[in-house]
Amino acid sequence: MNVQQITPAQTIGPFYGFALPYEGGPVVARDGDVRVHGSVFDGAGALVSDALVEVFQADPDGALDGGLFGRCSTRPEGSFAFTTVKPGPTADGCAPHLAVIVHARGLLLHLHTRMYFPEEAQAHAADPVLAAVPKQRRHTLIAEPDEGGLRFDIRLQGGDETVFFDV
Amino acid sequence: MPTPYRRDGLDAHPFRDDPAYLSTKLRHPIEPLIPLRDPETELAEPFLGAGPIGPLDHDLTRQHAGEPIGERIVVTGRVRDGNGTPLAGQLVEMWQANAAGRYAQAEDGHAAPLDPNFTGVGRCLTDDQGVYRFVSIKPGPYPWRNHDKAWRPAHVHFSLFGTAFVSRLITQMYFPGDPLFPYDPVMKSVTDEAARQRMVSSFDLDATVDQWATGYRWDIVLRGPEKTLFEEAEVA
């Protein structure tokens, strides 16, 4: 095959809530001691209450085979929360992170971003992916500790727009 | 190093900023995406913890006490990667409106009846040839508020993963010959005609079951890995 004839993406739409979320979806790792939570915001700063957030990460040893996956809707209140474990670095020099996908009504093709851990400032300085991100935008990829665990808000557009990747 | 994934053909996807589809206006990034090349995590294959597939998960006409109202259909096809390799054991999730064009979700305010015998959710795994198969009823078109007299063509939503996080796909399958195609900004967000046609199923006599259901075939192609030099040599 020459050019790969891929099937194009279409929006997840507003009415996936009875179909895609599943019991245990927000549990990335059983007995995980890390809670990652946040909200998705649109360009006007309004909560996006019909997004679907998916995460994929290495295990604590940095292994990705049998890697850990989670899925959580922001319905109906506009926020998501995952229970997980902190991943190990996937390679020398890579800071621990979650790969994150955002689907939503109004998003014709999902978005890729990443969440990094706030206590890893030293590893962040050496991480090649973060190095490619303009310094003033890097903070959008780094979760903030709060009373609920680690807060990771996703801003689809506008001031403080989250960094999204062309993967 | 992980195997890189092909980047050719990705322009088949829609632009996220599409003025004809109003909801994109505040939901697409303005800043340019940052190139992320050969990332270990995104090029690995997620392990899906969605639990076992039930014996009736693929048959949306048998998930309730009675049968749903509507035109019974079989939807089947093969899942391949961009190199043409069939993908076996792939989770395929689908969901749809009922025959009247109403979703079994509380927020759907369309003034069309719910069907107590139809939820509209299916799941299955592809077989060793990459083939999936669902039994359902044909969904109806339904109105939305994007513009005056806006009606979505009948469609079935599909969700697939492929062999890496970068081959993740959520899309919609359409039915052949739908007169609503020229008026639908979601479908028209795919601007290349050939790519748009790849979202349209075809009536298929082989998939049709005598005295029971009409059959539709819809093959799916997910982004595939770059071939190694060794594989290239084999092909040559």
Average pLDDT score, chain B: 95
Residue in B159, B172, B223 closest to A20 by CB: B159
> Which pLDDT band holds residue A65 (cuts at 50, 70, 90)?
confident
Has B142 been annotated as catalytic?
A: yes
Chain-centroid distance, C-alpha B106: 23
pLDDT tens-digit readout, B13-69 = 999 999 999 999 999 999 999 999 889 999 999 877 556 899 999 999 999 999 999
Mutate one of A3, A11, A85, A155 to test the B interface: name it (highest B CB count within 10 A).
Answer: A11
Residue type at position B21: Y
How far apart (Å, rounded) are the C-alpha atoms in residues A54 and A52?
A: 7
Spot the catalytic one: B5, B21, B132, B142.
Answer: B142
- Residues of A with CB below 8 A from B30's CB? 43, 157-158, 161
pLDDT at position B194, please?
A: 97
The three-class DSSP label of residue A119 is coil
What is residue B63's predicted lDDT score, i.e. its pLDDT?
Answer: 97
Question: Which of the following is catalytic: B155, B174, B216, B223?
Answer: B155
Interface contacts (A, B; CB < 8 Å):
230
pLDDT given for residue A152 in this prediction: 98
Rounded Cα–Cα distance for residues A23 and A43 (Å): 31
Mutate to test the interface with B, among A2, A10, A133 (most CBs of B within 10 A): A10
- State the pLDDT confidence band at A66, using cuts at 50, 70 and 90: confident
Residues of A in contact with B83 (CB under 8 A): 1, 4
Contact A91 B82 (CB under 8 A): no
**CA-based nearest distance A46→chain B, Å:** 9
3-class DSSP string for chain B:
CCCCECCCCHHHCCCCCCCCCHHHCCCCCCCCCEECCCCCCCCCCCECCCCCCCCCCCECCCCCCCCCCCCEEEEEEEEEECCCCECCCCEEEEEECCCCCCCCCCCCCCCCCCCCCCCCEEEEECCCCCEEEEEEECCCCEECCCCCCCEECCEEEEEECCCCHHHCEEEEEECCCCCCHHHCHHHHCCCCHHHHHCCECEECCCCCECCCEEEEECCEEECCECCCHHHHHHHC
Residues B156, B106: contact at Cβ < 8 Å?
A: no
DSSP state of A20: S
- pTM higher than the cut 0.90: yes
Which of B10, B136, B170, B198 is the best substitution to test chain A (most A C-beta atoms within 10 A)? B170
Q: What is the dihedral of CA B196, A13, B13, B142, to 10 degrees?
A: 10
pLDDT tops 50 at residue A6: yes
Q: What is the pLDDT of residue B52?
A: 80
Answer whether B47 sits within 8 Å of A67, measured CB to CB.
Answer: yes
For the question of residue B103 being annotated catalytic, the response is yes
pLDDT of B80: 98
Q: Tell me the average confidence (pLDDT) per consecutive run of 10 residues in chain B, 236 residues long.
A: 93 98 98 95 82 91 98 98 96 98 95 98 96 98 98 98 97 98 98 98 98 98 86 58
Q: Containing H/E element for A73?
A: strand A68-73
B78 is catalytic: no
pLDDT given for residue B175 in this prediction: 98
Nearest residue on chain A to B20, judged by CA atoms?
A: A106
The one catalytic residue in B80, B152, B174, B223 is: B152
> What backbone phi and psi angles, to 5 degrees, belong to B198?
-70, -10
Chain A residue at shortest CA distance from B200 = A7
Name every chain B residue with its beta carbon within 8 A of the beta carbon of A17.
105, 107
Contact B82 A5 (CB under 8 A): yes
Up-side HSE of residue B48: CA atoms within 13 Å toward CB?
23
Decide if A10 and B171 are in contact by the 8 Å CB cutoff.
yes
- In this prediction, residue B236 carries a pLDDT of 47
- Catalytic residue, chosen from B78, B157, B168, B198, is B157
